[in-house]
């Protein structure tokens, strides 16, 4: 999120918002390169579809391992399942048979984290491979409250670059989608807009194309919400924007 400027597409102007409102005031904590925004967005959308994993430059950050997340394990996580003690796993509610989850310890730390390092790192579950806290930076969100403080710190440190206008336009559109989802939940059918940061960020990334359309400012909130839902549905079905 270096050197960014407002775009002329009007997506943010429609809500009287600016990029700077989404970017946490910074920062004494240093910065971490997040890469060109467009490249990251393409890679993350592919990861969402399961086409490829994320390649997150975590460095020595273990924020996602200490922040109270339950780790989902799918049947194909055979190597992880072979190494994680069965007594740490429970059936994943709402998932098909064979899907398990590994709850955190009471202090929020993953039970496989030992002395600050993942004890199954080479065989860690796909969930861990896919976790990419740049989604929160992309969507102008924090990961959560006090239990996500370490992740939030990294989120504030990420800096995307914008080598082309398309990078800026894409980030503008993701931010506008994120803002709309948060601010207009009643516009969605049956009020079914996500409310958790991860759900908001993922939906914004799936449906940001709605806000690339300069005609979006002439549409009603209900029409925009319907377009977000439909674009997300098409994404899940393997379609494009
Ligand atoms: S399994 Fe390893 S990488 Fe995944 S949350 Fe636990 S410690 Fe972190």
The per-residue pLDDT for range 93-118, each reduced to its tens digit, is: 888 888 999 999 999 999 999 999 99
80 lines ligand 1 (CB under 6 A): no
Measure CA of the first residue to CA of the last residue in the chain; give whole Å: 23
CA 158 from centroid of its chain's CA atoms: 13
What is the helix (H) or strand (E) element at residue 102, kind and residue range?
strand 100-102
Mutate to test the pocket of ligand 1, among 60, 70, 105, 121 (most ligand atoms within 8 A of CB): 121
Here the tokens at position 49 are 């579809």
Higher pLDDT, 131 or 15: 131
Q: How confident is the model at residue 240 (pLDDT cuts 50, 70, 90)?
A: low
Average pLDDT score, the chain: 86
The predicted model scores a pTM of 0.82
Where does the pLDDT of residue 15 fall: very low under 50, low under 70, confident under 90, or very high at 90 and above?
Answer: very low
Name the token pair of 227.
Answer: 């377009």
* pLDDT at residue 179 is higher than 80: yes
The ligand 1 atom at the shortest distance from the C-alpha of residue 71 is 5
CA of 93 to the centre of ligand 1 (A): 20
The Å distance, Cα 146 to ligand 1 centre, comes to: 20
């Amino acid at each position: 999120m270096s050197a960014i400027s407002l775009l002329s597409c009007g997506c943010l102007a429609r809500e009287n918002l600016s990029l700077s409102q989404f970017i946490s005031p910074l920062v004494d904590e240093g910065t971490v390169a997040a890469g060109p925004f467009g490249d990251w967005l393409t890679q993350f959308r592919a990861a969402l579809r399961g086409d490829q994993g994320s390649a997150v430059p975590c460095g020595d950050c273990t924020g996602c391992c200490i922040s109270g997340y339950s780790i989902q394990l799918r049947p194909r996580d055979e190597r992880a399942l072979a190494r994680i003690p069965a007594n740490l796993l429970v059936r994943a509610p709402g998932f098909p048979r064979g899907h398990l989850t590994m709850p955190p310890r009471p202090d929020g730390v993953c039970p496989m984290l030992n002395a600050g390092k993942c004890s199954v790192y080479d065989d860690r579950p796909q969930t861990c491979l896919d976790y990419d806290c740049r989604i929160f930076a992309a969507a102008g969100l924090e990961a959560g409250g006090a239990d996500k403080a370490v992740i939030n710190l990294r989120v504030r440190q990420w800096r995307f670059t914008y080598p082309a206008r398309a990078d800026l336009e894409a980030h503008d559109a993701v931010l506008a989608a994120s803002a709309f989802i948060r601010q207009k939940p009643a516009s969605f059918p049956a009020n079914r807009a996500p409310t958790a940061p991860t759900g908001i960020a993922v939906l914004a990334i799936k449906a940001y194309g709605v806000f690339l359309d300069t005609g979006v400012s002439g549409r009603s909130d209900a029409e925009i919400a319907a377009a977000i839902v439909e674009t997300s549905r098409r994404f899940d079905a393997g379609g494009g924007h």
